[in-house]
């Protein structure tokens, strides 16, 4: 037997960094620590029966200088017991000091370490139990990457800045952020006014009637940054965040998503997904019945609109100073004289779905333009809602029609020269949900059946319920089955995500479909609710990045359930295997007020740069201690 040799642990830590990074000091690879355990102090005896968490091994390093991404390796290498200490490498590959951070968003390097922290300090928080100055806005919630520049990301926070505003309303703070300099390059606000924000002061706004702004999506494309909120799309210059205008979306109750595409002819377009307006006059019948008053127009008018993105020079993508978007027609499924006809020139789910004339509520959308010219959209939607006349038997959500929560619509014909204003839904041409044109409609297989009563009748559906005249899908147990979607065009996969199908039990909440035929390929139960904007595909790997309510119990690669909590996962796009978790530890304060036991702590938006770096927007505004 060889003589006993003391087991030496590394001085600075463990790293799974790629060879491009010169590892500082005595650092070992993850495999080198699989069987390493600490010595009992002063005894020289290594305890082989148990293995303490790595965090205790390096506790002396915290705050004392550089350490190498300790928190990034727990899930990637299979080593257990680590705590995230929020350290990373910068663009030069050097270690950054450990310690706590405050901010509304983080950027993860390709090795999973925290590369950048985005902290918008302009907001002073809500009037009720407001956080101290410097914590930024209410929460992160939203982000976007620049598809033309992987070193630029955008972050949007919800804020209430009573020091500068003449009203106590919620506004949106927008930041353009450089990953190279690790600093904001430009900042502005989105306000409920058509007047641009001037640096240092708000414009004069009406004394009444101002609305709180809670955006649903921000996207960068071409020369512009688009912000979807309320019934509008706000348009800013992408390079300077200079406000250009806000565009009022016709037939919209709320703009849920915007997706830019470049059509085969080279022009840029913005697809706008909206739940329908219920107050406009038309064939939509007002509901004056008893019980919970449903708003039929929300369902029957839910639509996808096509808008051309304008430039002074299309070749150079030179931005315009006004008139960013132009609404162009799409073929309708109803013609003048048909029951329920409105001259809306959009794509309405109620006119093209197998459930027609019943509509739905749609919350997220992904789009692709294929090499053969096919233009397709994927929508995360609720099951059937009401039609334009809720008194008719075929316009009530009776549950007899097939359940649909995930769908693919082909819109190619709408972008071709000579597209008709109306089209026969029974004989579509490169348009609609029909399998004959390449579309499909599916249920996730386990969608939520939530009971609700309307006019003494009980229905089963996953539509978020109305409460006090408001339909809030973010409320606990009010979420739809799926409300996030992302497409991987290269590998022909599309992913839908949301909540578990039961209000009390288990079940999957991430679904992978074959993008072309709608076959269900695999499912995953992440245990935590996946938010509306918190799903993206890493273009460098095909893996899925998802954000969720902070939770434990997700399945690890070896099939066991994780007891550690996490608010973001990297999932193998081909197999559904969890590859990595992002964990901000339990030492989290919500503006210094509540703890991690609160269920709505989590990641609310996810995006990925062209280089595979992940942007996560956090809720609430985080300050780790």
- Alpha-carbon separation of residue 383 from 305, 349, 358, 460, 494 (angstroms): 21, 11, 10, 10, 19
Is the residue at 33 inside a domain? yes
**Paired tokens of 157:** 């926070």
- Asked if residue 256 belongs to a domain, the reply is no
Three-class secondary structure assignment of 67-101? CCCHHHCHHHHCCCCCCCCCCCECCCCCECECCCC
Query: What's the total number of domains in the chain?
Result: 1
Residue 51's contacts (CB-CB under 8 Å, 6 or more residues apart) are 37, 80, 81
Q: Which of 203-217, 311-325, 332-346 has the lowest mean pLDDT?
A: 203-217
In this predicted structure, what is the pLDDT of residue 358? 93
| Region 601-623 average pLDDT | 83
pLDDT of residue 449: 85
461 vs 574 pLDDT, higher one: 574
pLDDT over 70 at 343, yes or no:
yes
Q: Is the pLDDT of residue 610 over 80?
A: yes
Residue 245: pLDDT over 90: yes
- The residue with greater pLDDT, 84 or 381, is 381
**Looking at per-residue confidence, does 376 or 211 come out higher?**
376
414-443 pLDDT tens trace: 999 999 999 999 999 999 999 999 999 999
Q: What's the gap between Cα 257 and its chain centre?
A: 10
The mean pLDDT value for 343-366 works out to: 96
Domain of residue 13: give its range: 1-99
Residue with tokens 């035929």: 517
Q: What is the pLDDT of residue 208?
A: 61
Of 162-171, 285-294, 418-427, the one with minimum mean pLDDT is 162-171
Task: Quote the CA–CA distance of 256 and 485 in Å, as a whole number.
Answer: 12
Q: How far apart are CA 568 and CA 580, in angstroms?
A: 8
Region 333-346 average pLDDT: 95
φ/ψ of 418, rounded to 5, equals 80, 20
| pLDDT mean over 237-259 | 96
Burial of 82 (0-12, 13-18, 19+ CB in 10 A): buried
Least confident range of 64-78, 162-176, 297-311:
64-78
Please report whether residue 12 resides in a domain: yes
The reported pLDDT for the residue numbered 503 is 72
Percent of the chain with pLDDT over 90: 47
User: Residues near 300 by Cβ (< 8 Å), separated by ≥ 6?
Assistant: 276, 284, 340, 348, 350, 357, 358, 359, 386, 387, 388
- Give the chain's mean pLDDT: 78
Q: Please compute the mean of the pLDDT values over residues 403-417 and round it to a whole number.
A: 96
pLDDT greater than 80 at residue 95: no
Given a cut of 60, is residue 186 above it in pLDDT? Answer: yes
Say what the pLDDT of residue 70 is: 35
Share of the chain above pLDDT 70, in %: 72
Element (H, E) at 275: strand 268-276
- Average pLDDT of the segment spanning 84-98: 34
pTM of the model: 0.83
4 belongs to a structural domain: yes
CB atoms within 10 A of CB 595: 11
Residue 2 reports pLDDT greater than 90: no
Answer whether residue 51 is part of any domain.
yes
Where are the extended beta strands (E) located within 552-608? 566-571, 578-582, 588-590, 602-608
What is 468-499 written as a DSSP string? TTEE-TTSTT---SEEEEEEETTTTEEEEEE-
Q: Which residues pair with 178 in a beta bridge?
A: 152, 183
Q: Are 607 and 147 in contact (CB under 8 A)?
A: no
Are the C-beta atoms of 237 and 323 separated by less than 8 Å? no
> Would you say residue 18 lies in a domain?
yes
- Phi, psi of 104, deg, nearest 5: -105, -10
pLDDT at 13 over 60: no
- Which pLDDT value is given to residue 237? 97
- The residue among 260, 256, 258 whose CA lies nearest residue 274 is 256
Judge whether 27 lies within some domain: yes
CA angle in degrees (0–180, nearest 5) for 499-504-506: 60
pLDDT for 79: 27
Grade residue 185 by pLDDT with cuts at 50, 70 and 90: very high
159-163, 412-416, 494-498, 618-622, range with the lowest pLDDT = 159-163
* Residue pLDDT, tens place only, 35-89: 444 444 444 443 332 233 333 333 333 333 333 333 332 222 222 222 333 333 3
Q: Which residues contact 530 (CB under 8 A, 6 or more apart)?
A: 484, 497, 498, 499, 509, 510, 546, 547, 548
Confidence band (pLDDT; 50, 70, 90) for 108? confident
User: Is residue 71 a part of any domain in this protein?
Assistant: yes
SS3 category, 299: helix
Beta-bridge mates of residue 252: 276
Per-residue model confidence (pLDDT) at position 193: 83
Contacts of 316 (CB under 8 A, 6+ apart): none
185-202: average pLDDT? 78
Q: What is the DSSP secondary-structure string of 120-181?
A: -------STTPPPTTS-SSEEEEEEEETTEEEEEEEEEEE--TTT-SS---EEEEEEEETTT
């Amino acid at each position: 037997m060889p003589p006993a040799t003391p087991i030496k642990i590394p001085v600075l830590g463990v790293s799974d960094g790629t060879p491009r990074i010169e590892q500082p000091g005595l650092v070992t690879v993850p495999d080198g620590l699989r069987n390493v355990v600490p010595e009992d102090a002063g005894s020289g005896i290594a305890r082989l029966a148990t293995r303490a968490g790595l965090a205790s091994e390096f506790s002396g390093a915290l705050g004392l200088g550089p350490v190498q991404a300790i928190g990034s390796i727990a899930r990637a290498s299979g080593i257990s017991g680590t705590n995230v200490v929020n350290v990373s490498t910068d663009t030069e590959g050097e270690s950054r000091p450990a310690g706590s951070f405050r901010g509304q968003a983080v950027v993860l390097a390709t090795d999973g370490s925290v590369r950048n922290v985005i902290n918008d300090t302009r907001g002073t928080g809500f009037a009720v139990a407001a956080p101290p100055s410097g914590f930024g806005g209410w929460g992160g919630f939203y982000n976007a990457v620049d598809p033309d520049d992987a070193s630029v990301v955008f972050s949007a926070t919800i804020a209430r800045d009573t020091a500068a505003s003449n009203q106590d309303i919620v506004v949106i703070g927008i930041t353009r952020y450089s990953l190279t300099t690790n600093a904001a390059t430009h900042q502005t606000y989105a306000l409920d006014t058509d007047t641009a924000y001037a640096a240092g002061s708000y414009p004069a706004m009406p004394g009444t009637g101002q609305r709180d702004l809670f955006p649903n999506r921000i996207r960068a494309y071409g020369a512009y940054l688009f912000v979807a909120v309320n019934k509008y799309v706000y348009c800013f210059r992408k390079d300077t965040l200079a406000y250009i205008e806000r565009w009022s979306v016709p037939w919209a109750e709320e703009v849920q998503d915007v997706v830019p595409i470049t059509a085969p002819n080279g022009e840029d377009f913005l697809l706008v997904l909206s739940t329908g307006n219920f107050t406009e006059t038309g064939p939509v019948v007002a509901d004056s019945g008893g019980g919970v008053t449903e708003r039929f127009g929300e369902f029957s008018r839910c639509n996808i609109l096509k808008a051309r993105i304008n430039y002074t020079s299309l070749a150079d993508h030179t931005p315009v100073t006004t008139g960013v978007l132009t609404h162009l027609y799409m073929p309708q499924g109803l013609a003048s004289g048909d029951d329920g006809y409105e001259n809306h020139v959009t794509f309405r789910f109620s006119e093209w779905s197998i459930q027609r004339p019943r509509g739905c509520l749609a919350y997220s959308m992904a789009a692709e333009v294929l090499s053969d010219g096919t233009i397709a959209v994927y929508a995360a939607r609720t099951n059937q809602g009401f039609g334009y006349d809720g008194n008719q038997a075929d316009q009530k959500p009776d549950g007899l029609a097939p359940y649909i929560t995930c769908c693919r619509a082909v819109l190619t014909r709408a972008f071709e020269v000579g597209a008709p204003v109306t089209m026969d839904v029974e004989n579509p041409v490169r348009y609609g949900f029909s399998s004959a044109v390449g579309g499909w409609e599916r249920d996730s297989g386990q969608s939520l059946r939530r009971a609700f009563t309307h006019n003494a009748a009980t229905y089963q559906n996953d539509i978020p319920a109305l409460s006090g005249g408001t339909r809030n899908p973010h409320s606990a147990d009010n979420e739809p089955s799926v409300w996030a979607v992302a497409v991987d065009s290269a590998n022909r996969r599309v992913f839908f995500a949301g909540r578990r199908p039961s209000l009390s039990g288990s079940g999957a909440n991430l679904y992978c479909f074959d993008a072309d035929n709608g076959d269900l390929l695999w499912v995953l139960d992440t245990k935590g609710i996946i938010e509306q904007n918190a799903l993206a595909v890493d273009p460098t790997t095909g893996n899925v990045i998802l954000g969720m309510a902070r939770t434990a119990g997700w399945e690890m690669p070896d099939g066991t359930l994780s007891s550690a909590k996490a608010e973001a996962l990297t999932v193998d796009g081909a197999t559904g295997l969890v590859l990595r978790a992002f964990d901000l530890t339990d030492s989290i304060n919500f503006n210094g007020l509540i703890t991690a036991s609160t269920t709505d702590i989590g990641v609310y938006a996810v995006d990925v740069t062209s280089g595979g770096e992940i942007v996560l927007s956090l809720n609430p505004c985080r300050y780790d201690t």
